[in-house]
């Protein structure tokens, strides 16, 4: 069977600092591999390590000092509650927007507010508050509008609300447009100082801060903090917010709380999604008190229950989050709002089952559109080195899932992707999503094309847009022009940042458990990526929906290790000898825990030419493993030439003059037979012997 093509990637290695890693490892009693990872993250001293591993020891400034309009926002809400004025929340249909909406609904209702909500239709209206919603709120007698995860770019709708006499508080986290809307108050972390620990919060983080400060001002914070923190954790991870600063502090605690959640909706989601180790039992729950003196009310310093049932970000990112996001993408966001605000377990389970069914439908749609998009790219033979951006627009694609497909195309082609489809009711209009690469700023690219667009918004990594179909050709040309300003040809491959080399013999359950101290891992605090040279793939097969399951060994270890490469069917079968980049993952099967590899990248292993193999000193000896057997090899002088000798455990020797292709195989030279070392299995033995001897040379 012919070998498939390999993914195009650029591997970027952190500089090795072995002496510093060794000293840090000895001081902390950890693996030097983990010490190197900490150094790569800028964590180099014992004080920095303590603050990173125990984020609650860090100083947290008063958010009232950080957000200029936070005090005004609390006042406006306090007055509305006191006067029983009607409040309306305008949310968004992604996980961040829906968790933000649910968080504020639960908290405001518990504080006595008369509050309702609206979320614009993804299919007919697109992202963000609009004039229709404003007019509807006004008709319903709403006095105060509260946007969550949107509004910062909605100048006209906010202006209309103010003309109608409505008060508006914008809570958002998206990039700041040139002209801010005329709201009464704006809460956006992009408007505060860059070093602030609140700078990286998502929309749900802004909602959390506002809700907690309001509850504290009203003296009703007790009992509200934990459920709000759970919703904050769910939305922050699902929205791919950076897990640094205050996000790391609160998410770390929230992940410990989620398995013990008292929110019926979260219990139901955990149950339906089959998150491993989840538990709805109350046993072992620690007591919590509210620190009323803190400006931002948190759970007390008493740690949350530390159990094996604590969730990790992957549980949310790959299990809970997609089931929530699927609703906003192809169904009615009201399902999620009801799921996360109900206290009735029966209702919660019903809504969670709907999330499960709709997520399966979303997966099928993504797969179909992705394959159609790939087929279009291959047929059009677009020169991505020249264009430096990929713009794909086709009819009859579902608006709700093209953003996911855009992300997959970025992974595949390594360029910024703008993907769109025509509006069902108006084929002259296009609506789309964009995803970027590290060197490309999506929102700035959209600003560069502002005169061609209708509505648009986003941030550095992602965005959404609409435009008249007649502008498509110019939009494509303008994006390419913008990309040429930022991107060089070497940027046009998916980037993989690699921490440190770890071979099969380095991998253990103990190493995996040490690495867990880095959790929560995610954006801007990525899980460690290791690499392994000269890995040998001894088994491989396609499983599930196009995943490649592997068994890997190495010449210098008798051990084998299992691995999985998600959605790599296009690269099957892989070469037998490769360099791999991977993460560690725990595998629980029948009560037994092992460590497997999650393959992220693969390259052909460096070839050593047998004809030009050089020797600096002799005799030179080494060991390697093949089929669980230990072989010895060495280079020895023999009259006028140098000879490679490989001995198997049974005492048979393969002797080959350096640079020749015919060798002798036998227990003695007298009974030896000639063999061609370019043919298997001798070719593999000679190859790994060369690698082993190269290493022995140092």
The whole-number pLDDT of residue 152 equals: 94
Boundary residue ending a domain (466, 494, 522): 494
> Does residue 205 sit in the same domain as residue 259?
yes
Choose from 40-54, 497-511, 670-684 the range with maximum mean pLDDT. Answer: 497-511
> Does residue 79 sit in the same domain as residue 117?
yes
What does the block give as tokens for 213?
Answer: 């400060």
Share of the chain above pLDDT 90, in %: 64
> Does residue 146 sit in the same domain as residue 265?
yes
> Does residue 315 sit in the same domain as residue 337?
yes
Contact 96, 149 (CB under 8 A): yes
Residue 268 lies in a domain: yes
**Helix residue ranges per DSSP H, 536-602:** none
What does the block give as tokens for 28?
Answer: 């902390």
Q: Is the pLDDT of residue 659 over 90?
A: no
175-183 long-range contacts, CB within 8 A, separation 24+: 175/443, 175/457, 175/458, 175/459, 175/460, 176/152, 177/152, 177/153, 179/155, 180/152, 180/155, 181/151, 181/152, 181/153, 181/154, 181/155, 181/157, 182/155, 182/158, 183/151, 183/158
The pLDDT of 121-144, averaged and rounded, is: 91
Sort strands 462-468 and 456-458 into parallel, antiparallel or unpaired.
Answer: antiparallel
Q: Is the pLDDT of residue 673 over 90?
A: yes
> Does residue 166 sit in the same domain as residue 232?
yes
- What's the predicted TM-score (pTM) here? 0.77
Which carries the bigger pLDDT value, residue 307 or residue 355? 355
Sort strands 185-187 and 114-118 into parallel, antiparallel or unpaired.
Answer: unpaired
Q: In 3D, which of 109, 89, 65 has the Cα closest to residue 171? A: 89
The pLDDT of 489-511, averaged and rounded, is: 91
The whole-number pLDDT of residue 616 equals: 55
Q: Is the pLDDT of residue 592 over 70?
A: yes
Length of the chain: 698
The whole-number pLDDT of residue 416 equals: 96
Q: What is the pLDDT of residues 288-326, one digit of tens each?
A: 222 322 333 333 233 333 334 578 888 888 889 899 989
Residue 40 lies in a domain: no
CATH number for the domain including 474? 3.10.310.30
Distance separating alpha carbons of residues 504 and 689, to the nearest angstrom? 18
Integer-rounded Cα radius of gyration of the chain: 29
> Does residue 489 sit in the same domain as residue 502?
no
Q: In 3D, which of 321, 152, 320, 173 has the Cα closest to residue 245? A: 173
The whole-number pLDDT of residue 615 equals: 55
Which carries the bigger pLDDT value, residue 310 or residue 271? 271
> Does residue 233 sit in the same domain as residue 332?
yes
> Does residue 455 sit in the same domain as residue 572?
no
Within 13 Å and on the Cβ side, how many CA atoms surround 361? 16
| Separation in Å, CA 215 to CA 197, 229, 286 | 22, 13, 22
The whole-number pLDDT of residue 298 equals: 36
Q: Is the pLDDT of residue 692 over 90?
A: no
Distance separating alpha carbons of residues 195 and 427, to the nearest angstrom? 46
Distance separating alpha carbons of residues 210 and 70, to the nearest angstrom? 7
Boundary residue ending a domain (606, 637, 664): 606
Distance separating alpha carbons of residues 445 and 438, to the nearest angstrom? 13
Q: Structurally, how many domains does the chain consist of?
A: 4
Q: In 3D, which of 217, 204, 246 has the Cα closest to residue 75? A: 217
Residue 34 lies in a domain: no
7 confidence band (pLDDT: 50, 70, 90): confident
Which carries the bigger pLDDT value, residue 79 or residue 620? 79
Distance separating alpha carbons of residues 173 and 458, to the nearest angstrom? 9
The pLDDT of 99-124, averaged and rounded, is: 94
Q: In 3D, which of 581, 579, 537 has the Cα closest to residue 684? A: 537
Ordered DSSP codes for 106-166 = HHHHHTT-EEEEE---TTTT-SS--HHHHHHHHHTT--EEEEES--TT-HHHHHHHHHTT-
Q: Is the pLDDT of residue 62 over 50?
A: yes
Boundary residue ending a domain (606, 631, 662): 606
> Does residue 248 sit in the same domain as residue 390?
no
Q: Is the pLDDT of residue 12 over 50?
A: yes
The whole-number pLDDT of residue 610 equals: 52
Residue 22 lies in a domain: no
Distance separating alpha carbons of residues 141 and 137, to the nearest angstrom? 6
Residue 367 lies in a domain: no
> Does residue 336 sit in the same domain as residue 398?
no
> Does residue 177 sit in the same domain as residue 122?
yes
Task: Provide the mean pLDDT of the chain.
Answer: 88
CA 439 from chain center: how many Å? 17
Q: In 3D, which of 343, 463, 443 has the Cα closest to residue 402? A: 463
Helix (H, G, I), strand (E, B) or coil at 229: helix
Q: What is the pLDDT of residues 145-156, one digit of tens each?
A: 999 999 998 999
Strands (E), 364-403: 390-393
Q: How many CB atoms neighbour CB 84 within 10 A?
A: 11
Contact 330, 358 (CB under 8 A): yes
CATH number for the domain including 590? 2.40.50.460
| Separation in Å, CA 433 to CA 398, 402, 430, 439 | 11, 7, 10, 18
> Does residue 133 sit in the same domain as residue 270?
yes
The whole-number pLDDT of residue 617 equals: 58
Domain that holds residue 637: 620-696
Distance separating alpha carbons of residues 18 and 436, to the nearest angstrom? 34
Residue 111 lies in a domain: yes
Q: Is the pLDDT of residue 538 over 60?
A: yes
Between the two ends of the chain, the Cα-to-Cα distance in Å is 37
The pLDDT of 584-590, averaged and rounded, is: 86
Distance separating alpha carbons of residues 523 and 240, to the nearest angstrom? 6
Residue 211 lies in a domain: yes
The pLDDT of 184-196, averaged and rounded, is: 96
Residue 23 lies in a domain: no
CATH number for the domain including 81? 3.90.1640.30
Beta bridge mates, 429: 468
């Amino acid at each position: 069977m012919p070998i498939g093509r390999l993914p195009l990637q650029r591997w970027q290695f952190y500089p090795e600092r072995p002496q510093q890693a060794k000293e840090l490892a000895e001081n902390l009693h950890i693996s030097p591999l983990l010490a190197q990872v900490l150094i790569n993250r800028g964590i180099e001293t014992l004080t920095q390590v303590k603050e990173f591993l125990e984020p609650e020891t860090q100083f947290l400034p008063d958010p009232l000092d950080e957000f200029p309009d936070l005090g005004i926002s609390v006042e406006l809400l306090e007055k509305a509650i006191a006067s029983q004025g009607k409040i309306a929340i305008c949310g968004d249909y992604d996980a961040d927007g829906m968790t933000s909406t649910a968080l504020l609904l639960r908290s405001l209702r518990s504080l006595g507010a008369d509050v309702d909500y609206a979320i614009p239709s993804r299919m007919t209206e697109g992202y963000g508050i609009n004039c229709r919603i404003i007019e509807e709120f006004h008709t319903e007698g709403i006095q105060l509008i509260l946007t969550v995860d949107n509004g910062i770019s909605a100048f006209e709708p906010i202006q209309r609300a103010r003309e109608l006499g409505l008060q508006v508080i914008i809570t958002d986290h998206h990039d700041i447009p040139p002209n801010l809307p005329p709201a009464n108050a704006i809460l956006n972390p992009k408007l505060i100082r860059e070093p602030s620990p609140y700078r990286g919060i998502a929309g749900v983080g802004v909602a959390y801060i506002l809700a907690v400060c309001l509850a504290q001002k009203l003296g009703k914070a007790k009992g509200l903090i934990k459920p709000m923190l759970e919703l904050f954790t769910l939305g922050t991870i699902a929205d791919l917010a950076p897990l640094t600063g205050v996000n790391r502090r609160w998410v770390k605690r929230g992940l410990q709380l989620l398995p013990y959640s008292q929110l019926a909706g979260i219990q139901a989601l955990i149950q339906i999604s089959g998150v491993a180790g989840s538990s709805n039992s109350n046993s072992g729950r620690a007591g919590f008190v509210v620190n009323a003196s803190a400006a931002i009310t948190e759970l007390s310093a008493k740690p949350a229950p530390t159990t094996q049932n604590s969730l990790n970000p992957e549980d949310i990112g790959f299990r809970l989050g997609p089931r929530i996001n699927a609703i906003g993408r192809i169904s009615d966001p009201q399902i999620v709002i009801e799921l996360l605000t109900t206290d009735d377990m029966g209702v919660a389970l019903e809504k969670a089952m709907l999330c499960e069914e709709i997520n399966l439908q979303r997966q099928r749609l993504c797969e179909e559109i992705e394959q159609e998009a790939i087929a279009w790219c291959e047929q059009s033979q677009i020169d991505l080195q020249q264009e430096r951006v990929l713009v794909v627009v086709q009819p009859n694609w579902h608006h709700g899932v093209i953003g996911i497909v855009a992300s997959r195309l970025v992974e595949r082609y390594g360029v910024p992707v703008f993907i769109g489809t025509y509006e069902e009711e108006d084929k002259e209009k296009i609506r789309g999503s964009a995803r970027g690469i590290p060197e490309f700023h999506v929102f700035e690219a959209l600003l560069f094309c502002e005169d061609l667009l209708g509505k648009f918004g986003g941030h550095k990594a992602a965005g959404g847009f609409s435009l008249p179909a007649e502008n498509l050709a110019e939009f494509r040309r303008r994006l390419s022009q913008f990309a040429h300003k930022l991107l060089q040809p070497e940027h046009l491959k998916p980037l993989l940042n690699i921490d440190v080399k770890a071979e099969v013999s380095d991998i253990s359950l103990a190493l995996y458990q040490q690495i867990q101290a880095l959790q929560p891992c995610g954006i801007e605090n990525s899980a460690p990526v290791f690499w392994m040279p000269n890995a040998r793939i001894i088994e491989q097969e396609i499983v599930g929906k196009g995943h490649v399951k592997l068994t890997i060994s190495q010449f210098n270890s008798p051990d084998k290790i299992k691995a999985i490469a998600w959605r790599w069917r296009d690269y099957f079968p892989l070469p037998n000898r490769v360099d791999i980049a991977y993460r560690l993952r725990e595998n629980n099967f029948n009560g037994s825990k092992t460590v497997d590899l999650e393959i992220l990248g693969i390259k052909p292993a460096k070839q050593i030419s047998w004809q030009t193999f050089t020797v600096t000193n002799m005799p030179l000896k080494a060991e390697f493993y093949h089929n669980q057997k230990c072989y010895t090899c060495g280079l020895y002088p023999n009259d006028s030439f140098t000879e490679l000798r490989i001995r198997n455990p049974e005492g048979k020797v393969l002797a080959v003059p350096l640079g020749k292709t015919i060798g002798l195989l036998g227990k003695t030279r007298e009974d030896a037979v000639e063999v061609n070392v370019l043919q298997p299995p001798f070719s593999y033995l000679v190859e790994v012997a060369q690698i082993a001897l190269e290493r022995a040379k140092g």
